[in-house]
Structure 1
Amino acid sequence: MSCTLVIPTRNDTTNLKRLLEQAFHMKCFARAIVVDDASDSPLSPELCLLERPDWVHLTRHENRKGAGAARNLGLQFVETSHLLFFDSDDLLTPEIPHLLADLDGREFDFCIFKHNDSRVSAAGSWGQTRWDEALWRHAGVAVGALRPVSPSSAPTLARTANYPWNKIYRTDFLRDNGLRCSETLVHNDILLHWASFIRARDILSSDRIAAIHHVGLKSGRLTDHSGPERLAVFNILRDVLNTEIPGDRNFFAAFLGFASYLFGWIRGVIAPSQQPALDAQIRQFLLAALSPGDYRNLTVSDPVLALRINLQLAETRRAGAGTS
């Protein structure tokens, strides 16, 4: 198999050069495609990788569009059978060449692999967050350099953090299904993550920790945004629901659980001035997504989630009454 590295970046030359040098010397990627999302100082191939500028294909957005749009643009230039989206401030580990070797000759739509989270490292350990690791265990794939993910386990694994860079994709799987990132500044990875799990027929998993994800606290990160741009998430969630979810509804319940937790997270970061609009959107989304029959089924299959959603509906109803 042949794999391309697709890297969105903005004003991150130092980390980008570090990643490109690392990936180049691993000799397991046919090429790197770098999408400059309107950096203040435009990048050049020579600046990206002095040793082999021809190994890097560089393209650019003249206006800032976000990492999702950058990944979509990068996908257009991929000529290999497989690809890996990656962030410029993260790092690969020596496991990635071994994982690509394991995958050579295998048929799959995508392979999800484990990563190290910098917050876990800061606590003196190594690996994923407890939440993600628990979901891998519950899905029955916590151990194994390469193993298939069953249809019954896929919805559980889909509830892990919605990252684009922990999956090696078959290029034609993305193209044939029209799978893309949302072109928003925030929450742009949700649609690709969930639609990939929903549409895929052959998913593999690997317990190889093949990436190091840096979670920074510096101001200005997109994850710190607290304005009305956060409300774009509701259109993205609707796009996921409009994906052809399998009839067994396992994905539907898993996705509702993810959305419910996400609403709580957004409540913690959004500006107070945006709270009424957020409450209205939460209520509208839940009422539209859940029919009475869906809710009755949920009370049986996942009573804890049903209770949480009921409490969120009550909370948003009280909030709406308080602003009327």
Structure 2
Amino acid sequence: MATGRYTLFFDADDTIHRDVVPQVLARMDMHPTLDTAILFYSRQKRETSEILGMARIDQDLLLECLGGRDEAMGPPNAMAGLLAMNNFPWNKILRTERFRQAGLKFGKTQVHNDLLGHWHALLHARQVLLMNKTLCTHRVSKSGSNLTSRFNADRLQMFAALSELLDFLEDRPEWSRMYARQFWGLAQRMVDWAGPRLDPDLKTRFDMQYSDLLCRIHLADLARIRTQGSGGLAKRIVNHLIR
């Protein structure tokens, strides 16, 4: 339903850096094939107002793609590392018409529903713009009741979200082959993050649902993961399946 040339999905409890937005739009206006802009964000504790900075993995991925520059642009396959970023929607600006045509979707699950939208925003773009500027500040709270803080049965929906993303890739065999390493690496990282935080009585269900997801991996993709310098990831997948 967006009517502007550009769209930003944003949460009501975060803060946008208004001075940065016109700079991003000026670059996208100059280059009509720049469909997605991804910028830095900061985090702030609600209780103390302490600034935490970005999640380390997101910062490292963005800096790697920038390669020491303040700005970079390129096709999605050149930015594939960004698929492993946290799937926040609010550090991106999208070209509205491009994603209306592409059929931008977010997931159906209660948690991790931004995961599908994050991959859509990258893979459906003709060109991706990165800028070493902070677009927004995300306010976080350890004691909050938001979904991010829940590690009860709701968290098991992460496997439905990953399955939904895998369906999206398998409908596009070229992308499925090209980005298998990124998908399975992300799945492993999500498991490593959520598993230790999960309510203990859910551990068996968690492991079983992860095994069900892993059973969907194609042997050719597993071989590619092994030969693309991710032998450790391939070994962990195999060990989980045969234990």
Superposition TM-score tier, normalisation by shorter sequence: 0.7 to 0.9
Match for residue 294 of structure 1 among 221, 225, 236: 221
Displacement of 1:164 in angstroms is 0.5
Distance across 2 between alignment mates of 1:113 and 1:194: 16
CA distance in 2, matches of 1:160, 1:142: 19
2:145 alignment counterpart: 220
Q: CA RMSD in A?
A: 2.4
Q: Secondary structure at the match of 1:104?
A: helix
What is the TM-score normalised by the length of structure 2?
Answer: 0.86
CA distance in 1, matches of 2:175, 2:93: 27
1:157-209 CA deviation, whole Å, 9 max, x = no partner?
12111110111011122221221212332111101001222222221111111
Secondary structure of the residue aligned to 2:88 is coil
Indicate how the Cα distance of structure 1 residues 83 and 143 shifts in structure 2: closer, same or farther if over 3 A, else same.
same
> Would the aligned equivalents of 1:116 and 1:126 in 2 still touch at CA under 8 Å?
yes
**Matching of residues 187-226 of structure 1 within 5 Å:** 187-226=112-151
Task: Classify 1:178/1:247 alpha carbon distance in 2 versus 1 (closer, same or farther; 3 Å).
Answer: closer
2:207 and 2:54 mapped to 1: Cα distance? Answer: 31
Partner residue in 2 for 1:99: 24
Alignment of structure 1 residues 54-203 onto 2, 5 Å: 76=1, 78-93=2-17, 94-107=19-32, 108-118=34-44, 127-141=53-67, 143-145=69-71, 147-203=72-128
Aligned equivalent of 1:283: 211
Cα distance in 2, alignment partners of residues 199 and 150 from structure 1:
10
The answer to whether the 8 Å contact 1:142/1:207 transfers is no
* Secondary structure of 2:179 counterpart: helix
Query: Are 2:76 and 2:125, in contact at CA under 8 Å, matched by a contact in 1?
Result: no
Would the alpha carbon gap of residues 113 and 280 (structure 1) be closer, same or farther in structure 2, given more than 3 Å must change? same
Instruction: Give per-residue Cα distances to partners, 1:97-121, cap 9 Å, x unaligned.
Output: 32223333432221111111237xx
Cα deviation, residue 156, structure 1: 0.4
The Cα shift of 1:144 comes to 2.1
Kept after mapping to 1: 8 A contact 2:37/2:93: yes
- The one-letter code sitting in structure 1 at the alignment partner of 2:88 is Y
TM-score for both structures, normalised by structure 1:
0.66
**Equivalent residues of 1:195, 1:240 under 8 A apart:** no
Shift of 1:313: 3.3
Please tell me the residue identity of whatever aligns with 2:224.
Answer: N
Structure 2 residue runs of 5 or longer lacking an equivalent are none
Match of 1:152, SS state, is helix
Q: What's the CA shift for 1:281? A: 0.7
* Deviations, residues 99-156 of structure 1 (Å, cap 9, x unaligned): 223333432221111111237xx8x8774232112112332455324x3133432210
- Check the 8 A contact 1:159/1:254 in 2, yes or no: yes
Q: Which amino acid aligns with 2:157?
A: A
Q: Which has the higher contact order (CA 8 A, sep 6+)?
A: 2
The 3-state SS of whatever aligns with 1:282 is helix
Counterpart of 2:145 in structure 1: which amino acid? G
Whole-angstrom distance in 2 between the partners of 1:126 and 1:104: 32
Q: 1: CA distance between counterparts of 2:42 and 2:155?
A: 27
The structure with the larger Rg is: 1
Change (3 A) 1:231 1:245: farther
Match of 1:52 in 2: none
Q: Please report how far the alpha carbon of residue 96 of structure 1 lies from its aligned counterpart in structure 2 after TM superposition.
A: 2.4
Distance in 2 of aligned mates of 1:111 and 1:126: 23
Are residues 174 and 150 of structure 1, via their aligned partners in 2, closer, same or farther at CA, if it must alter by over 3 Å? closer
What SS does the aligned partner of 1:134 have? helix
Percent of residue pairs identical? 28
> Who is 2:238 aligned against?
310
Task: List runs of 5+ in structure 1 lacking aligned partners.
Answer: 1-75, 318-324
Alignment length (residue pairs): 235
Q: Secondary structure at the match of 1:85?
A: coil
1:79 aligned counterpart, secondary structure: coil
SS for the counterpart of 2:77 is coil
